[in-house]
A and B are shown apart, each in its own frame.
Chain A
Amino acid sequence: MLQSKSFVRKTKQGKVVKVVREHYLRDDIYCGATFCKVCDVSGARLTPDASNIIVVDTNVVLHQIDLLENPAIDYVVVLSVVLDEVKNKNISVYNRLRAICSNSLRKFFVFSNEYHKDTYVKALAGETPNDRNDRAIRVAAQWYQNHLGSSSCVLLITNDRENKRKAIDEGISAETVESYVKSLGKPELLDLVVQPQSGDVNMEEVEDLRPSKRKVIYIEHKPMSEITSGLLRGILHQGKLRVNRYNPFEAYVGSESIGDEIVIYGRSNMNRAFDGDIVAVEILPREQWQEEKSLAIAEEEDEEEDVHLAPSSADDAPRVIDAKQGSEGNTVPARPSGRVVGVIKRNWHSYCGSLDPMPMPAGNAGVAHALFVSKDRRIPKIRIQTRQLGNLLDKRIIVSVDSWDCVSRYPSGHYVRTIGEIGDKETETEVVLIENDIDARPFTSQVLACLPPLPWSVSSEDLANPIRQDLRHLRVFSVDPPGCKDIDDALHCTALPNGNFEVGVHIADVTNFVYPGTPLDDEASQRGTSVYLVDRRIDMLPKPLTEDICSLRNEVERLAFSVIWEMTPEADIISTRFTKSVIKSSAALSYVEAQARMDDSRLMDPVTADLRNMNTLAKIMRHRRIDRGALTLASAEVKFQIDTETHDPLDIGMYQIREANQMVEEFMLAANISVGEQILKHFPLCSLLRRHPSPTKEMLEPLLRTAAAIGIDLDVTSSKTLADSLDQAVGDDPYFNKLIRILTTRCMTQAVYFCSGDLTPPEFHHYGLAAALYTHFTSPIRRYADVIVHRLLAASLGINKLPDIFQDGTRLTSIADNLNYRHRNAQMASRASVELHTLIYFKKRPTDTEARIVKIRSNGFIVFVPKYGIEGPVYLTTRADKGGEWIVDEHQQKVKKTDGSVSYSVLQTVKIHMEVVEPQPNRPKLQLTVI
């Protein structure tokens, strides 16, 4: 049956056009009940043991998705009209709903009512789309009831009073969410129900706790029409709000329309916007810019800065506010400040954290109101209602946000689930994983089914394969951190009769086991990278692959993808060749062992000789790279020694970098560059490369200011000049240079993956390595980017054909974006894990140590503790005492006592005392004080 859908639509240019589309109605759409006698039951989900079959309306899905995700809710019919509406309103809820529908354990069925001849509803004259959709839902519910007859009861769930009344008039049983959940008899589910906004009497009660605040706190958001016209006229500016990770009362909106960042100070100016929301901003008048600033400082002091790990790049580092305050107020701040007037798109999701400690209300069984504090400091406190307060107080929980009106100081949300006890290492680790969106679930059976049968060994077919070269005769060895089980690279170095060297880098041939399009590949591309936490590793690929089949272990035959160069003794590459191979590693060394072998002049065995040759070559290559302008940056990586029994940290120390590390790194870089050149030559439009953008002037500004204060002149015109001036920046103590390097590293952004078709060749540049192009090839076991590069390389050699996704530029870009996102999250998670363990470590061991001042603040300074790689504030004044005992000299980066007796300047060494204190129960933090 054919129906024609016709509607008018406004085009982007503002023209109004009439659109006519065909709409086919069919009779082959089935109801999805396994007990249905009329319908085809092959795809059916609804089993007869259901007491009710539930039909939900759009608003129920939009608001109660957390409830629907709970396994207690089942036998749900999701209508296509609901799906479409949800998709238009909130894509993330749509994706979650789709995930439930496709989960084979849940009994959710999608009924395409819009295409069914009996349930299609034509809009009546004068009927709004909303009314039409509500009617369509009722018609579908009615159809279900008639279709299934007395065998089961169909229940329409809606919170819309009008809709419910109409449904009951039409003879459909209908209920509200709350009454339905109550009828299930599971009180814990009620916490998941989002309270309807209208008639929310309870809200008043919470406000009563702070009677003085009962007024309109935030300015009403402007209506969407006003925002659009404001944006068009250039009065308002649109952008994504990013809250300062270190100061939640300060946010930035990067606006394209004024080409600069707008700073927003204070919660009231942020006007209920969350981090990541797309907002419309109004610029404040110029004279208010300064005033806002002083206000922000006052507010800033309610919230203290925590001790945290030293950031490793500009992306992690606290944002530096333009602190060029003149002593008089006449200097104009460089950045405009503004105020949020409306939220265009919300970025609400669920947050991890715990409840603010509060006394138990009288009457334990009743509903209690509590404030939830997120782990993520950028998120304001969230008000929730719960019936299980006693249970939740000392737990880490997940809460999601529902609404925020202008009369309440905090947004309101609802409880989603409990993770575990606060302070418990397992719980806190899980919090870290959830916060960083890391999937640590075990691999599904479909994924595991893609693995080759175990025990696996190189077969005769692999050896007979003409594309695979037999390199088992070569003396291949690997050098890795001690205890490394996923060895993905190995090396060899043979002296050739003509005096040259043949150097090979052999990388585990992961793509021989991970085929494109398989569940295994999909899972790996989703995970993107392995995540290394202090006490565990979350693999990208299942364990049999990472630790056995692909791992290039000692004395076993393994498949590899090899890059083989012929090099002169001056380390010039004469020829490069790529091949799939079979290798047999003769030694799996650790960095320490390799270093010891090279250093021990008595050892003359062949592997040691190879090591020495390689080291010589690597040194030349490294030197050449540095001459080209590569930066030797430093980061403050720390290493824990973990107790094997309790898994508690025993000792922390800086990660030591040896020559052996640098040697391996050098050859890996060379392999990556060679592979990058090869794939870009063959696939100029669809190669996956890695670039590192040059830092901008503004990013280097704080570094230059610090350097100037201590009398060092850094030339940042290019990476070469920067590298040279870094080399010259030698202070009186050995750590000085490293400290400067650490500070420099912090000003850089991170390198990112990208698809070569998206940018022009000059943009491919890798600033840190001073390479024209770079990619990742050497760690396919733990990075998905390398898997992609392996496929590209194999295709460029004609071994495989290029998988289909490379044809699709947008998908490749989205893969690259996902890899960047995952990579970044993995790093954040590792850092968070280190922070967690640092806390556990210092809990039992208050320590005195040396620290270096890295930044001066008005009431103290930030110190960096080299030994433990952590950074944190040291307060010179107590919070209560705001007295002007200390004066800050911005220009010289100094803080002085008014009488001049004591002064601290940047990069100075101070003795500090580190101790874990618990200002609030269950919330330990590390405190640093000067001694």
Chain B
Amino acid sequence: MEYVTPEGFRLDGRRPMEMRQLRAEIGVVSRADGSAVFEMGNTKVIAAVYGPREVKNRSEQLNDQALVRCEYSMANFSTGDRRRKHKGDRRSTEISLVIRQTMEACILTHLMPRSQIDIFVQVLQADGGTRSACINAATLALADAGIPMSDLVTSCSAGYLNNTPLLDLNYVEDSAGGPDVTVGILPKLDKVTLLQMDAKLPMNILENVMQLATEGCKAVANYIREVLLNNTKQLEFRRGV
């Protein structure tokens, strides 16, 4: 199938190097310590962060650092066909783990020993790139909760179809069966914290695709920073400073 026309348009009218529309909102779950909704096109994810708080299960307590836990789930209505998504299947366990490890890499856990941070992410609407959207939502929620982090982790995916690297795949492109590279970076430190791909790709092409995904991450980072700044300004305004 033709995913990029010779005129250089993708199925949804984007060019290969363009992302979908980003949207984010902070403080959507008032009971949580921090929360955010993050949208990449039609992919919509909600994240809530609780903590740092007392460790529930004493046996898991770590004496030198905070315990980070993450739970990923997909809402039953998130995909077109209404199917019961049972918790704890292989895919959600894997994504939970990926998000936890990625977030752990930037949270300054050593500042909060003997405490626990819970991250809950739920996909409200899935249209490709849920993994990246979850990480971005979690970053925003962590920032909203005021948890100390070394940098904002941002993530974006990129793929390779019709001999063209494509940024931010949507569901149709994702299910084309081509390689799908998800990259997570620490934009300020310029470090990669997450790199996932479940296909074979020649080295030089992988480099190009990864480069593109990294650019995407940086764009997400700029947007997230802007959102956070606006949010802070609003808080400032409400407090009447």
| A joins B in a complex | yes
**A26 is an interface residue with CB less than 8 A from chain B:** yes
Q: Mark B115-149, 1 if CB is under 8 A from A, else 0.
A: 00000000000010000000000000000000000
Q: Mark B1-31, 1 if CB is under 8 A from A, else 0.
A: 0000111010111100010110000000000
**A112 and B80 contacting across the interface, CB-CB below 8 Å:** no
**A2 and B21 contacting across the interface, CB-CB below 8 Å:** yes
Contact status of A804 and B12, CB under 8 A, knowing A2-B21, A22-B41, A80-B5: no
**A115 is an interface residue with CB less than 8 A from chain B:** yes
**B190 is an interface residue with CB less than 8 A from chain A:** no
Cα of A80 to Cα of B5 in the assembled complex, Å: 10
Cβ distance B125 to chain A, nearest Cβ, rounded Å: 9
**B240 is an interface residue with CB less than 8 A from chain A:** no
**A22 and B7 contacting across the interface, CB-CB below 8 Å:** no
**A23 and B6 contacting across the interface, CB-CB below 8 Å:** no
Contact status of A110 and B7, CB under 8 A, knowing A23-B13, A24-B12, A24-B14: yes
> Which residue from chain B places its CB closest to the CB of A116 in the assembled complex?
B13
From A17, A22, A101, A110, give the contact of B12 (CB < 8 A): A22
**B205 is an interface residue with CB less than 8 A from chain A:** yes
Cα of A22 to Cα of B172 in the assembled complex, Å: 11
Cα of A912 to Cα of B202 in the assembled complex, Å: 65
Interface range on chain B (Cβ under 8 Å from partner): 20 to 34
CB-defined contacts of B18 to chain A, threshold 8 Å = 24
CB-defined contacts of B14 to chain A, threshold 8 Å = 24
CB-defined contacts of B236 to chain A, threshold 8 Å = none
**A610 is an interface residue with CB less than 8 A from chain B:** no
Cβ distance A794 to chain B, nearest Cβ, rounded Å: 16
Contact status of A115 and B13, CB under 8 A, knowing A18-B80, A22-B20, A98-B6: yes
Q: Mark A47-80, 1 if CB is under 8 A from B, else 0.
A: 0000000000000000000000000000000001
> Which residue from chain B places its CB closest to the CB of A111 in the assembled complex?
B7
**A24 and B80 contacting across the interface, CB-CB below 8 Å:** no
CB-defined contacts of B127 to chain A, threshold 8 Å = 22
Cβ distance A98 to chain B, nearest Cβ, rounded Å: 7
Cα of A346 to Cα of B75 in the assembled complex, Å: 46
Cα of A102 to Cα of B6 in the assembled complex, Å: 9
Cα of A721 to Cα of B13 in the assembled complex, Å: 64
**A19 and B13 contacting across the interface, CB-CB below 8 Å:** no
**A573 is an interface residue with CB less than 8 A from chain B:** no
**A807 and B13 contacting across the interface, CB-CB below 8 Å:** no
**B81 is an interface residue with CB less than 8 A from chain A:** yes
Q: Mark B175-219, 1 if CB is under 8 A from A, else 0.
A: 000000000000000000000000011100100000000000000
**B170 is an interface residue with CB less than 8 A from chain A:** yes
**B81 and A24 contacting across the interface, CB-CB below 8 Å:** no
CB-defined contacts of B92 to chain A, threshold 8 Å = none
CB-defined contacts of A98 to chain B, threshold 8 Å = 6
| A760-813 CB contacts (< 8 Å) to partner B | 801, 804, 807
> Which residue from chain A places its CB closest to the CB of B79 in the assembled complex?
A17
**B80 and A804 contacting across the interface, CB-CB below 8 Å:** no
The listed residue with most B CB atoms (<10 A of its CB), out of A18, A24, A26, A102, is A24
Contact status of A807 and B170, CB under 8 A, knowing A22-B12, A112-B7: no
> Which residue from chain B places its CB closest to the CB of A102 in the assembled complex?
B6
**B20 and A807 contacting across the interface, CB-CB below 8 Å:** no
**A480 is an interface residue with CB less than 8 A from chain B:** no
Cβ distance B123 to chain A, nearest Cβ, rounded Å: 15
**B42 is an interface residue with CB less than 8 A from chain A:** yes
Cα of A20 to Cα of B80 in the assembled complex, Å: 9
From A4, A22, A102, A801, give the contact of B170 (CB < 8 A): A22
CB-defined contacts of B202 to chain A, threshold 8 Å = 801, 804, 807
Interface size on A, residues (CB 8 A): 25
**A20 and B200 contacting across the interface, CB-CB below 8 Å:** no
**B172 and A21 contacting across the interface, CB-CB below 8 Å:** yes
The listed residue with most B CB atoms (<10 A of its CB), out of A101, A102, A115, is A115
> Which residue from chain B places its CB closest to the CB of A28 in the assembled complex?
B15
**A114 is an interface residue with CB less than 8 A from chain B:** yes
> Which residue from chain A places its CB closest to the CB of B2 in the assembled complex?
A87
| A82-113 CB contacts (< 8 Å) to partner B | 83, 98, 101-102, 110, 112
**B7 and A80 contacting across the interface, CB-CB below 8 Å:** yes
Cα of A24 to Cα of B20 in the assembled complex, Å: 9
CB-defined contacts of A110 to chain B, threshold 8 Å = 5-7
From B5, B7, B13, B81, give the contact of A15 (CB < 8 A): B81
CB-defined contacts of A22 to chain B, threshold 8 Å = 12-13, 20-21, 41-42, 127, 170
Cα of A19 to Cα of B12 in the assembled complex, Å: 13
**B9 and A115 contacting across the interface, CB-CB below 8 Å:** yes
Cα of A21 to Cα of B42 in the assembled complex, Å: 8
Contact status of A807 and B21, CB under 8 A, knowing A24-B13, A98-B6: no
> Which residue from chain A places its CB closest to the CB of B203 in the assembled complex?
A801
**A25 is an interface residue with CB less than 8 A from chain B:** yes
Cβ distance A81 to chain B, nearest Cβ, rounded Å: 12
> Which residue from chain B places its CB closest to the CB of A17 in the assembled complex?
B80
Cα of A23 to Cα of B172 in the assembled complex, Å: 13
CB-defined contacts of A80 to chain B, threshold 8 Å = 5, 7, 9
The listed residue with most B CB atoms (<10 A of its CB), out of A18, A26, A114, is A26
**B6 and A17 contacting across the interface, CB-CB below 8 Å:** no
Cα of A795 to Cα of B44 in the assembled complex, Å: 45
> Which residue from chain B places its CB closest to the CB of A11 in the assembled complex?
B81
| A1-40 CB contacts (< 8 Å) to partner B | 2, 4, 15, 17-26
Cβ distance A815 to chain B, nearest Cβ, rounded Å: 15
**A112 and B9 contacting across the interface, CB-CB below 8 Å:** yes
Contact status of A101 and B6, CB under 8 A, knowing A17-B80, A25-B13: yes
Cβ distance B180 to chain A, nearest Cβ, rounded Å: 15
| B73-126 CB contacts (< 8 Å) to partner A | 80-81
CB-defined contacts of B6 to chain A, threshold 8 Å = 98, 101-102, 110
Contact status of A112 and B5, CB under 8 A, knowing A2-B21, A18-B80, A21-B172: yes
Cα of A115 to Cα of B4 in the assembled complex, Å: 13
> Which residue from chain A places its CB closest to the CB of B8 in the assembled complex?
A112
| A150-187 CB contacts (< 8 Å) to partner B | none
CB-defined contacts of A114 to chain B, threshold 8 Å = 13
CB-defined contacts of B172 to chain A, threshold 8 Å = 21
CB-defined contacts of B205 to chain A, threshold 8 Å = 804
CB-defined contacts of A20 to chain B, threshold 8 Å = 42, 80
Cβ distance A85 to chain B, nearest Cβ, rounded Å: 14
**A807 and B12 contacting across the interface, CB-CB below 8 Å:** no
CB-defined contacts of A25 to chain B, threshold 8 Å = 13
**B81 and A23 contacting across the interface, CB-CB below 8 Å:** no
> Which residue from chain A places its CB closest to the CB of B20 in the assembled complex?
A22
> Which residue from chain B places its CB closest to the CB of A9 in the assembled complex?
B80
> Which residue from chain B places its CB closest to the CB of A806 in the assembled complex?
B202
CB-defined contacts of B5 to chain A, threshold 8 Å = 80, 83, 110, 112
Cα of A496 to Cα of B100 in the assembled complex, Å: 67
Cα of A807 to Cα of B178 in the assembled complex, Å: 11
**A21 and B12 contacting across the interface, CB-CB below 8 Å:** yes
Cα of A115 to Cα of B13 in the assembled complex, Å: 6
Cα of A329 to Cα of B5 in the assembled complex, Å: 61
The listed residue with most A CB atoms (<10 A of its CB), out of B13, B14, B18, B201, is B13
Cβ distance B91 to chain A, nearest Cβ, rounded Å: 21
From A19, A23, A801, A807, give the contact of B80 (CB < 8 A): A19
Cα of A17 to Cα of B80 in the assembled complex, Å: 7
Cβ distance A237 to chain B, nearest Cβ, rounded Å: 29
CB-defined contacts of B41 to chain A, threshold 8 Å = 22
23 A-B pairs within 8 Å (CB atoms) are namely A18-B80, A19-B80, A20-B42, A21-B12, A21-B170, A21-B172, A22-B13, A22-B21, A22-B42, A23-B13, A24-B12, A24-B13, A80-B7, A80-B9, A83-B5, A110-B7, A112-B5, A114-B13, A115-B9, A115-B13, A801-B202, A804-B205, A807-B201
Q: Which 10 A-B pairs have the closest CB atoms?
A: A24-B13, A115-B13, A22-B12, A17-B80, A22-B41, A112-B7, A804-B202, A110-B7, A24-B14, A112-B9
Q: Interface of B with A (CB < 8 Å)?
A: 5-7, 9, 11-14, 18, 20-21, 41-42, 80-81, 127, 170, 172, 200-202, 205
Besides A22-B12, A22-B42, 7 more A-B contacts (Cβ < 8 Å) are A19-B80, A20-B42, A21-B11, A21-B12, A22-B13, A101-B6, A110-B6
